């Protein structure tokens, strides 16, 4: 592909991402969450208990931003901090019952939204798209890390 075609592809991907966000945004507003807050809640619910640094590392955000993110989720009563029994300096985060309930409600809505969104693709096309997006994400992430 020539540079112009690659740029057009980039624009199409960007537009698809924007349209996808338009589908998700009303749900995030309903639950008073940002997409990053949802991702953090998802991580915490699925892992049962995590340290703040683990959340920050996984989301690729600075520790201070991770702490602020956790503070917001805690104020919304979606998560709670728990001190380690072995070392009081270590603080773990776990989802409250309300946090788990919110996550599962959002996830159910996401299932409906994305089944419809990706429903035009065959199972093989969906799997291939997943592989391609994963490959591109890994490559671009490594370029950012290595300052390509």
Round to whole Å and give the CA distance between 62 and 67.
9
Percentage with pLDDT > 90 across the chain: 78
**Banded pLDDT at 43 (limits 50, 70, 90):** very high
User: How, if at all, do strands 91-95 and 50-51 pair?
Assistant: antiparallel
* Cα separations in angstroms, 5 against 8, 26, 40, 85, 125: 5, 33, 36, 57, 22
Across all residues in the chain, what is the average pLDDT? 92
- The predicted pLDDT at position 18 comes to 93
Which tens digits make up the pLDDT trace of 54-69? Answer: 999 999 899 999 999 9
The string of pLDDT tens digits covering residues 82-138 is 987 888 778 899 999 999 999 999 999 999 999 998 999 999 999 999 999 999 999
Q: How far is CA 4 from the centre of its chain?
A: 31
Return the H-helix or E-strand segment holding 95.
strand 91-95
Q: At 34, is the pLDDT very low, low, confident or very high (cuts 50, 70, 90)?
A: very high
Query: Do 44 and 76 meet the contact criterion of CB atoms below 8 Å apart?
Result: no
- So what's the pLDDT on residue 148? 59
What is the Cα 144 distance to its own chain's centre? 19
Q: Evaluate whether 91 touches 79 at the Cβ level (below 8 Å).
A: no
């Amino acid at each position: 592909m020539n540079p112009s075609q690659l740029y057009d592809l980039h624009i199409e991907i960007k537009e698809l991402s924007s349209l996808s966000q338009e589908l998700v945004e009303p749900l995030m507003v309903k639950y008073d969450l940002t997409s990053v807050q949802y991702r953090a809640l998802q991580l915490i619910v699925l892992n049962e208990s995590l340290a703040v640094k683990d959340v920050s590392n996984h989301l690729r955000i600075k520790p201070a931003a991770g702490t602020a993110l956790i503070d917001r989720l805690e104020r919304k009563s979606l998560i709670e901090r728990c001190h380690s029994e072995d070392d009081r300096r270590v603080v773990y985060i776990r989802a409250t019952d309300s946090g788990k309930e919110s996550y599962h409600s959002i996830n159910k809505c996401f299932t409906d939204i994305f089944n419809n969104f990706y429903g035009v693709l065959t199972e093989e096309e969906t799997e291939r798209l997943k592989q391609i997006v994963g490959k591109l994400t890994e490559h671009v992430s490594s370029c950012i890390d290595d300052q390509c």
